């Protein structure tokens, strides 16, 4: 298990409600997003957590699609501008949320950690958990938050395609996509079906309870130990580096550190020189 000193990555609705009432409330980021749309900003304007700023995953938490995949890591200057608008400063806690179950929120969490922010957490269960508790929403759009955080990339481990290939053979590479995509039975988005040879199927849905919140830490730890996680030498990929961040978040909640392959299957499958395995086994 890793003993790095960072806050537990998840926050309950009660903890957030209390923090927002405090003298030093966290910067609050709404990062609702879904593959294929509609844009999350439309939902944000219909109602969001009071004081939350909307941050767009496609435009601000990723670079334009290209050879490095559908959601390459963003230009630090673009990321900085979005975070400044949202009130993010190095000495201010940050909380991120989405509609639930934290897929895009995990991307924001991971990016902030990658960029060097010391204190960022995800609202467990997202907007769904907040409204289920009868907590209020707002339609007011806050002004510029006046943040001053400067991203310094390198705070979280990353893999390129060659490193992912090696880790699949020498360590443990988890595939966070749905099982049918891993097995190569369907591929709705990327150029080819299948998985990186040697990777182990670990769908992110296995991290969650029925209500969309994460399993308790001890149950997450048991899940990952069953998958072969032993504390070192673990990497994660998905379709484009978004749900993989959800897996890294779950691993951290369980006490493990893992590297993320940002290009993921969208980069790998677009390169005809890269092999693809299929079926239920790592291959």
Q: Catalytic site residues?
A: 238
Angle between helices 217-227 and 243-253 (to 10 degrees): 110
Q: Cis omega before residue 101 (within 30°)?
A: yes
Q: Which residue has the tokens 């294929």?
A: 36
**Smallest Cα–Cα separation from 82: which of 47, 118, 107?**
107
**Smallest Cα–Cα separation from 141: which of 87, 70, 72, 207?**
87
Give the chain's end-to-end CA distance (angstroms, integer): 28
Strands, E assignment, the chain: 10-11, 27-30, 53-54, 94-97, 120-123, 172-175, 200-201, 234-237, 259-260
Q: Dihedrals φ, ψ of 45, to 5°?
A: -70, -25
**Smallest Cα–Cα separation from 197: which of 121, 277, 125?**
277
């Amino acid at each position: 298990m890793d003993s790095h000193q960072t806050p537990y990555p998840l926050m309950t609705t009660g903890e957030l409600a209390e923090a927002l009432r405090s003298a030093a409330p966290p910067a609050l980021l709404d990062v609702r997003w879904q593959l294929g749309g509609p844009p999350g900003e439309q939902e944000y304007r219909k109602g969001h957590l009071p004081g939350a700023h909307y941050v767009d995953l496609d435009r601000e938490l990723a670079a334009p699609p290209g050879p490095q995949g559908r959601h390459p890591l963003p230009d630090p200057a673009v990321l900085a501008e979005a975070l400044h608008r949202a009130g993010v400063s190095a000495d201010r806690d940050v909380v991120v949320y989405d509609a639930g179950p934290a897929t895009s929120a995990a991307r924001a969490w991971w990016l902030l950690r990658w960029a060097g922010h010391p204190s960022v957490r995800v609202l467990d269960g997202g907007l769904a958990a907040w409204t289920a508790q009868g907590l209020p929403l707002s339609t007011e759009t806050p002004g510029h938050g006046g943040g001053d955080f400067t991203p310094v990339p390198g705070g979280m481990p990353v893999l390129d395609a060659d490193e992912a290939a090696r880790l699949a053979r020498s360590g443990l590479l988890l595939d966070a996509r749905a099982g049918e995509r891993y097995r190569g039975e369907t591929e709705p988005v990327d150029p080819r079906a299948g998985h990186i040879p040697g990777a182990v199927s670990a769908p992110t849905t296995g991290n969650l309870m029925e209500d969309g919140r994460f399993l308790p830490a001890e149950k997450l730890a048991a899940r990952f130990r069953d998958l072969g996680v032993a504390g070192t030498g673990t990497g994660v990929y998905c379709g484009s580096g978004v749900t993989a961040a959800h897996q890294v978040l779950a691993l951290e909640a369980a006490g493990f550190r893992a590297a993320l392959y940002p290009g993921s299957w969208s980069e790998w499958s677009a390169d005809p020189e890269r092999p693809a395995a299929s079926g239920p086994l790592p291959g």
